[in-house]
A and B are shown apart, each in its own frame.
Chain A
Amino acid sequence: MSIHKFGTDIIALLYALVKAVQVYDLNNDVVQTAAKKIVYSLKTLLNIYSSVQLVRYMDYVFFNKQRLRFEIDGYASLQFIHDKLKTLGIKSLSFLPGIDKEEMIIFASIFKKKKEEFTNGYSSSGFKRILVEFSTEEDEVPDFLREGERIKRTYFKALKVTRNLMQNLWMNQPIDVKSSRRIIYNLIDSLTQDEFGLLTLTAIKNLDDYTYNHSLNVGILSLALGQRIGLSKKSLAKLGSAGILHDIGKVALPKELIYKSERLTNEEWELLKKHSDYGIKEIVKARGLDETGLISMTIAYQHHWNYNGSGYPIHNKNESPILFSRIVRICDSYDAMTTPRMYQVVPYLPHFALRVMWKLRNVWFDPLLTKVFIQLLGLYPIGSCLELNNGEIALVIRQNQGYSEQPIVKIILDKDEKKVDGKVIDLSMNSGIKVIKPIYAQKYGVNPATYFM
C-alpha cells in the first residue's frame, strides 16, 4: 500500500463515520463499528508514523505530506472531507498515538456541525489525541508545497530535452534516448506531487518555441488526464512519451513550412497533414521498437483521427482510435487552440476552447474523456483572466475540485483597471463575487506568466 492509498482509506473511513453520526445515535452499532474501523486503521498507521496528519491547503488535501489526488471515482469522500475542513476553517487535523474509539466518536459528532459550534465544541471537549489547527487569514504555503522551484526545473529540463530531441532529428544528429526516457518519469513524479504545478506551466505559452512547447504541453496534459482517469504508472510513461512525440513527424517536413507565418495554401496544408504518417519513422529513429516506441507510433498516426471516424490520415471508419490516441487528440486540440501561432497571434481563450470542445464532443472528441478533461482543468483553467461582477479583474491561480465554475483567483486589476497586488479569493466560498466573463489579459497589458514564475 502506498501512502496515497492509506490516505484515501482514512478519508473514506472518516467520511463513513461522520455520515453515521449524522444519522444515528452515538451508541448505535453503525457508529460504533465505523469508529472501530477508523481507529484500527489509525493505530496501524501510527505504528509506522509518529502521527497521522491531514492538511488542507486551497483545494489540496495532504495526508502525511502526500497530496491526495482526486480521481474519477471515489472522490465523493475526499470532496466531502475537503469541503468540511474548508468550511470549518481547519488547516490541519492530527491523530496521535493512543487514539481511541470514544474520542473519535465525540470528534465526529462535533465535526458534523457548523463552524461556530465546532470551534466551541472543540475547545471545550479537551481532545488529547486529536489536534486541530485552525486556518488564519494568511496561511503560509505548507513546506512540502514549496516544490515550485523543482517543478519549474523539471518543466524546463523537459522542454530542453524535447527541443534537443526534435532538433537532432531535424539535423540527423544522434539522439539521447536515455534523457528522454528519464524525463518522463520526472514529469510523472512532479505530477503525482502537484498536478497543477505543471499544468500552470503549460499555460505559459512561448511564441518563439511553439513546436517544442506544444509537444511538451501535450505530453503533460495527456499525463494529467491519464492520471486523473487512474492509469498505471507504466501506462502513463508510454502515454506521456507518446504525447511529447505526437507531432514528431513534423521534423520530416521543411522548416519553412513549419515556421511559415502566413496562412497555408491548400498544397501546403496537405503536406503538413503528412506529419501524422511521417511520425512513425521518426519515432523509430527517436525511440526504437520498444513498447513505448511501438505505442507512440500508433498514437502519432492516429492523433488527428476523430471520434466519429473522420480525420486524417484517411482510414476505415470502423477503425477507431485507441484510448491513448483519443486522450492526445483532446490535449493536442486544446493546446493548439489556446496557443498563439505565427498566423494566429490571438489564440482562443481556454474557456472558449473548452466550449468548442464541449460542442464537438461525440464528433471530434471522446465525450467521456472531454468531461474528465473539463473536470481536470475547470471551466476557467489556470491562467484565465476573468471579469468579476464587482468590476475587478482577476487571474485564475487554482482550480477548485468539484466546482469547475468557481476557481480560486487573485485580483490583478481594481475597478479602475489599475494594476494591484490584490487578494486571493476562493469563488466557491464567496457567494457575493461571481464571474461575468473571461477576457484577454493582454487587453490590459498583463502578462499572466509573470504571476506564475
Chain B
Amino acid sequence: MESGPRYIIQSLAKAVKVIQMYHINHPSARNFYNPLYEKITIYLKDHPVIEYQIDQFIISNRGKAVYKEDEKETSIAFRLFRNGIRNISFISGLSFHELIKFLKIISKISKDEDIALELWEGDFEHINFYVVEEEDEVIDYKVPDFTKMDIDYDAKLREIIARENIDLSIPIKPNLAPDELQTLKNQIAEAEQTSGIPLAITTLISYLNTEKVHEIIDILKELLELCIDNRNFYDAIRIVNKLSEYPDINPVAKFETEPIIIGFKDVINTTHQETFNEFMNFISFFSKKSIPYLVRLMTFAKLKKRLQDLRKAVAYVAQDDPTTLAILLQDQDIDVLVNTIAILGFIKSNETITLLEPLMNHHNAAIRTEIIIVLTELDKAVRIARYLDDDEEIVRIKALQSLTRLKYTVIYYDLLNRIKSKTFRNLDFAEQREYFNCLVANGGHEVITQLRKMLFKWVFFRRKRYSVMRKLSAMALADIGTGHVLDMLRRGAKRRNKSISSACEMALRKK
C-alpha cells in the first residue's frame, strides 16, 4: 500500500512543509515532490480519482482517516479547512505542472492568502475541490415587503399584450436543430479562446471612433505598456496606430529611452520571426531621438539578416536625413561606427559622403569595408578604386567586388596593368581571382583577347609560376562561358603543354 491514499497525503504534507521551509525550486523540495508526483501517477493508473474529505484536523479517504495533525500551524487539514475547502480530489491525467501549481498555492504561509480563491483561479483541470463559505459573517435577508396596490392587473395584462402585439397562439419551440447546435458550439469554442487584451483594444478604439475621451486614451496607453511587456507588438501597433491620429499624443515617446530600447535585445534574437517582424513595424513609429539607442541595440543582433532589417528600420526612423547620425560617427565603439555607416548606406543622400569623409582612412579595416559598401550603394566607383591599394587584403577584395558590381569600365586598363605587374604574383589567389572577375565585368569584348593571350602565352623554361596566370585566365574565360570561348578552352585542354591543358581542364570542370 506504499502508493495508496494514505501514503500520498502524508507525502504531500511533507512536501508542503519543505516548500515552506525552502522554496519550490530548492533541491530539497524537489526531493519531496518528484516522488510524490510519481506515487500519484502510479495510483491514478488503476484508479480514476483519489478523493479526500477535509475536516478541521483530519483528512480522510473513503471514510477512513489517513492524515491527522492537531497543530494548527503545521496541519494541512486545518489550513485547507480554515479556507473553507471541504473536499479535494486528484483525477487521472494530473500533470506535474498542475501538482506544482497546487503545492505552491497550498504552501503559502501568509494569513491573508485566500487559498480557495487561488485554487479557483488556478483553474485546475485534474484537481477538483469543494468550498463552503465561512459562516461567521452575519447576512440577514428577509422577504421583501409587499403591499397590495390598487391596480387593475387584468387591464395591465391586456395593455401589455396590446402594446407588444403578443399573439398567444404562436407556439414556441425552443429546441435547437442539429445545424443550429453546431453553429452554437462553434461560437462557444471561439468564445473560449477570447483573449482580453485584443478584445479590449477593439472596444476602446471603437469608443474613440465616436468620441475623444482622455480616460479611454489613458487606458489604451496602459494597455500599450502591457503589450510591450508581453512582447505583443501586433496589438501594440494597433494602439499606436489609433493614438497617432491625435497630434497632441505621442504614444511611443515613453519607450524611447535607453534602458527600454536596450531591453529589447531578447526580441531581436527571438526564435519567433513574426514577433521580430512586428517589432520592426513597431519601431518604425519611433522618433529620431531613439536612433542612438537603436544603434546600440543592434550590437546584440546575432543574425545577419535581422541586423540588416534593423539598420533599414533605423534608416527609416532617420527619415532620409543623415545628419541625425552624425553624432554617432564620433563614437569610439567600432560596432556602433560600423552600424552607423551601414545605416547611412540605406539613406541615399549626397551629404553622406561629406559625413563619411573623415572616416575614409579609418585605421580599422571593418570600418573601411563598411564604407566601401556604402560607396557602392551610392555608386561612387572613383572613391572605391582608391581602396585597391589598401593595406588590408579584406578591404581590397571588398573594393574589387564592388567595382565588379558597379561596372566601372574606366578602370579596365588600370586593372590589366596591375595584373601584368610583377607584384601581382605576390597576392593571394582569392584576391587575384577577384581581379580577374573585375576585369571581366569591366572589360567588354577586348577582354577575351587579353585572357586568351595570357592563357596560351609561350614562356621559356616552362616557368612554373606562370601556371597561376593560366589558371586564372582559364577560369575567367569559363565564367564568360560563351560557346566560342568554351570551344577555345576545349581545344586548349588538348594541348601538349601540360600547364595550359591542365588549366583548361580545370576551368571546364569547374564550369
- A interface, CB within 8 angstroms of B: 1-2, 6, 44-45, 47-48, 50, 72-73, 150, 152-157, 160, 178, 181-182, 185-186, 189, 204-208, 229-235, 237, 277, 280-281, 284, 289-295, 297-298, 301-302, 313-316, 319, 322-324, 345-346, 348-349, 352, 354-356, 358-359, 368-372, 374-375, 379, 404, 437, 439-440, 442-443, 445, 447, 449-450, 453
Contacts and interface: CB of A to CB of B under 8 A. Distances in A.
Interface stretch (B136-144, B447-455, B503-511): B136-144
B203 interface: yes
Contact of A157 (B130, B133, B176): B133
Nearest to A371: B174
Contacts of A2: 91, 128
Contacts of A234: 123
A73 B176 CA distance: 9
18 contacts: A45-B48, A50-B62, A153-B133, A157-B133, A160-B139, A181-B121, A182-B117, A231-B188, A277-B207, A289-B222, A290-B196, A301-B206, A301-B207, A315-B206, A346-B151, A372-B174, A443-B153, A443-B154
Contact of B184 (A229, A289, A319): A229
Contacts of B207: 277, 280, 301, 313
B184 A72 contact: yes
Given A47-B47, A185-B120, A346-B153, A294 B196 contact: yes
Given A280-B203, A298-B203, A153 B153 contact: no
Given A150-B132, A294-B196, A439-B157, A1 B48 contact: yes
Contacts of B183: 368
A442 B148 contact: yes
A23 B321 CA distance: 86
Contacts of B157: 349, 352, 439-440
B352 to A, nearest CB: 46
B176 A368 contact: yes
Contact of B199 (A204, A230, A294): A294
B143 A453 contact: yes
A450 B213 CA distance: 48
Interface string B40-52: 0000001111010
Interface residues of B, number: 76
Interface in B170-220: 170, 172, 174-176, 180-181, 183-185, 187-188, 190-192, 194-197, 199-200, 202-204, 206-207, 210-211, 213, 215-216, 219
Contacts of A346: 151, 153, 156
Given A324-B191, A356-B166, 16 more contacts: A48-B49, A178-B117, A185-B120, A229-B184, A231-B192, A280-B204, A284-B219, A289-B222, A295-B200, A322-B191, A323-B190, A352-B157, A352-B161, A371-B174, A440-B157, A442-B153
Main secondary structure, interface of A, reads: helix
B146 interface: yes
A87 B389 CA distance: 106
Contacts of B148: 442, 445
A235 B164 contact: no
Contacts of B249: none
Contacts of A48: 47-49, 51, 62
Contacts of B258: none
A235 B187 CA distance: 13
B411 interface: no
A295 B130 contact: no
A368 B48 contact: no
Contact of B188 (A150, A182, A230, A345): A230
A379 B174 CA distance: 9
B181 A294 contact: no
A2 B219 CA distance: 40
Contacts of B223: 289
Contacts of B222: 289
A439 B153 contact: yes
A302 B203 contact: yes
A1 B91 contact: yes
Contacts, number: 203
B192 to A, nearest CB: 6
A263 to B, nearest CB: 15
A182 B132 CA distance: 12
Nearest to A45: B48
Given A154-B133, A178-B117, A233 B206 contact: no
Given A48-B48, A281-B216, A447-B143, A178 B114 contact: yes
Nearest to B141: A156
B226 interface: yes
B92 interface: yes
Given A185-B131, A186-B133, A442-B151, A6 B48 contact: yes
A316 to B, nearest CB: 7
A445 to B, nearest CB: 5
Nearest to B50: A48
B94 to A, nearest CB: 11
Contact of B151 (A316, A345, A447): A345
The list of the 6 closest CB pairs from A to B, nearest first, reads A294-B196, A447-B146, A374-B174, A440-B153, A443-B153, A294-B200
Contacts of B46: 47
A294 B132 CA distance: 29
A44 B143 contact: no
A191 B174 CA distance: 22
Contact of B191 (A323, A359, A404, A443): A323
B149 interface: yes
Contacts of A153: 133, 135, 139
B162 to A, nearest CB: 11
A47 B92 CA distance: 14
Contacts of A369: 184
The interface centre, meaning the residue of B128, B135, B160, B222 with most chain A CB atoms within 10 A of its CB, is B160
Contacts of B184: 72, 229, 368-369, 372
Contacts of B120: 182, 185, 233, 237
Contacts of A313: 207, 210
Nearest to A157: B139
B491 to A, nearest CB: 75
Contacts of A181: 117, 121
Nearest to B144: A206
Nearest to B185: A73
A8 to B, nearest CB: 14
Interface in B419-445: none
A356 B164 contact: yes
Given A189-B130, A352-B164, A295 B194 contact: yes
